[in-house]
Structure formats: C-alpha cells, structure tokens
Amino acid sequence: MPPFGARGTASPPVPPADLRRHRRDLWCRVVFVATVSIIGAGAGLFMRSAEQVLDRRGVETEAVVVETNRVRRLPDEAVVQYRVEGLLRQATLTVSSAGDFEIGHRIAIVYDPDDPVHARPLEGWSPTYWTLWRYAAIAGPFALILSLTVPRRLRADTAAAGSGAVHHMYRASYRRSLWLVLHLRATHIVGLWPEGADRDAPAPLSVEVDRGLGPSRPGLVVVVGRAEPGHHVVLSIEGETVWTKSTVRAGIDPQAKPLRPKKLPWTLRPSA
C-alpha cells in the first residue's frame, strides 16, 4: 500500500464488478419498492371486492366478544362468536381499537351466509385494505423518487470511481440518530483525516455512507475521487468498496457520536 497520504493518478481501487453490483442493487431497490406499491394496491382492491359481498347479501346478527388483540401498525383484532343456523361460528374482525370491544360484550355484526366466518362489525370496523392502500400510497411516490435519483447517483459514483484520484487517509466511524415521528433514523458517517491532520482534533472532512461501519476499527481508508467538500467520492476500506450517500463535507456533524468496536462476550479481563 502507498504511504499514508500518498496521492496519484493510478487506476482507482474500485473493481468494475463492484460498480456493476452497485448498479444492480440500486435498481433492485427501485423495483422492490415499486412492486410493494403495486402488490399493496392490487391486494387492497381484491380485498375491497370481497368485502362488497357483505354489502350485497350480508346478514345481521349478534355476536359475543371472546378475545381482543392489539396489533402494532395494523388494525386491532376482536375475536367474536355467534350462531348461524344453530351452529357456533367464530370470526376474527379487524377493528379500529381493541379497547372498544370488551370481552363478554355483545355487538352487532354482519356475516356472509355463503361463508359464515366472513364477517365484520357494524360499528368500529377498520378494513385491512385501507392499511394496504396507505402503504401503497407511500411506496409509490418513494419508488418514483428513487427512479429519478438513482441515475444521478450512479453517474456520480461512476465518475468518482473512474477519476483516477486516489487519497490514503485515516478514518473513524460515527453514527447520528434522529427521531422522526416515532421512527429512529440512523445516519452512518465516516470522518476523514488527510495527511498531516491532527487525529486528536475533530475530523476535518466527513462523508455519509450507505451502511454502518460500527464493527470496524479506526484505520486507513482509500478515498477515490476528489476529496474536497462538495465532491463525490468512493471509499475502499480493507479492500471492500463502500459507497457514499453524500458529497464530502467540511468538518463533522457535532451530533454524530463515534462508534466503538463491539467487545466480544468471551473477552477476558486482566486479573487484578
């Protein structure tokens, strides 16, 4: 390996196979999100069609709540029992809140006489297809945004990988956590110290990466591309290509916390 801080115009250490794999992975993300949107919308339409049967030929009756379940990120459930032509039937209903359906209470439901376990409450019903449509409504625009941003990102990655500019720097891994509406978003950052920089001082350069580098210890990194603020680069860490999600930035986010190597559970402590 060239000495720390060396710079030259040799071929960048980004294998063409890695670039092809990176291109395939990014487009697979677009296809996956678009597929989720299409399947969610289609499944919702199918379920809505099935529920319309109850509107056409449903029969009303009284049922007893025997069990309730709270389901995270999905409609709650209420299990009810009722009789159809003298036979005891049981159905699981999707409801807006399990708290409104106390065990032992009698509620009004409508069921399909051709399929007696297909039922829904007259009040407090939460159709599953609405949940599927909500996910489809989120995934659809996200897939569109990805399809527009992926080509630009691939052009930047290809340009950096083929630039011929190679820098050997020192690196350390950081993580920034941010709560967004009950969702924890983690951003993984690599701090970069060029040749001659004081490693005890905050990183003069930083870049956001695709995935966390928590298990890796601080050490050398090969930076491929123009290692200056505002420019796109690709990293090579211990022979592995690491793709960046942002351009190089001056300094490092003050809220970013350094990642420490994980200790193995069988690590022995020195005896006193």
**pLDDT exceeding 90 applies to what percent of the chain?**
53
Instruction: Answer yes or no: do 23 and 119 share one domain.
Output: yes
Residue 175 makes CB contacts below 8 A (sequence gap 6+) with: 186, 187, 188, 189, 212, 214, 256, 257, 259
How far is the C-alpha of 59 from the C-alpha of 131, rounded, in Å?
Answer: 26
How far is the C-alpha of 157 from the C-alpha of 232, rounded, in Å?
Answer: 7
- Which tokens hold the place of 110? 């409508």
Q: Whole domain around residue 122: which residue ranges? A: 14-152
Q: What is the pLDDT of residues 80-135, one digit of tens each?
A: 999 999 899 999 998 988 888 999 999 999 999 999 999 999 998 888 888 888 88
Choose the final residue of a domain: 97, 131, 152: 152
Q: Are 244 and 233 in contact (CB under 8 A)?
A: yes
Instruction: Answer yes or no: do 112 and 227 share one domain.
Output: no
Q: What is the pLDDT of residue 233?
A: 95
Angle between helices 128-161 and 16-57 in degrees, nearest 10:
170
pLDDT mean over 5-22: 70
| Count of residues in the chain | 272
Instruction: Answer yes or no: do 79 and 181 share one domain.
Output: no
Instruction: Answer yes or no: do 94 and 214 share one domain.
Output: no
Q: What is the pLDDT of residues 41-81, one digit of tens each?
A: 998 898 888 888 898 999 999 999 999 998 877 788 999 99
Instruction: Answer yes or no: do 44 and 119 share one domain.
Output: yes
Q: What is the pTM of this model?
A: 0.68
Q: Is residue 235 part of a domain?
A: yes
Q: What is the pLDDT of residue 224?
A: 94
- Which tokens hold the place of 47? 């379920």
Closest CA to 83 of 72, 91, 95: 91
Q: Are 128 and 75 in contact (CB under 8 A)?
A: yes
- Which tokens hold the place of 223? 């930076």
Q: Is residue 3 part of a domain?
A: no
Q: How many structural domains is the chain composed of?
A: 2
Mean model confidence pLDDT for the chain: 85
Q: Is residue 102 part of a domain?
A: yes
Q: Is residue 2 part of a domain?
A: no
Instruction: Answer yes or no: do 144 and 173 share one domain.
Output: no
- Which tokens hold the place of 31? 């296809």
Q: Is residue 266 part of a domain?
A: no
Residue 89 makes CB contacts below 8 A (sequence gap 6+) with: 81, 82, 83, 111, 116, 117
How far is the C-alpha of 170 from the C-alpha of 133, rounded, in Å?
Answer: 48
Q: What is the pLDDT of residues 126-172, one digit of tens each?
A: 888 888 888 899 899 999 999 999 999 999 999 999 888 999 999 99
Q: Are 120 and 110 in contact (CB under 8 A)?
A: yes
Question: Range with the lowest mean pLDDT among 24-33, 199-208, 216-225, 228-237?
Answer: 216-225
Q: Is residue 158 part of a domain?
A: no
Q: Is residue 72 part of a domain?
A: yes
Instruction: Answer yes or no: do 147 and 169 share one domain.
Output: no
Q: Is residue 262 part of a domain?
A: no
Instruction: Answer yes or no: do 109 and 33 share one domain.
Output: yes
Instruction: Answer yes or no: do 202 and 253 share one domain.
Output: yes
Instruction: Answer yes or no: do 146 and 18 share one domain.
Output: yes
Q: What is the pLDDT of residue 135?
A: 86
- Biggest CA-to-CA distance, the chain: 87
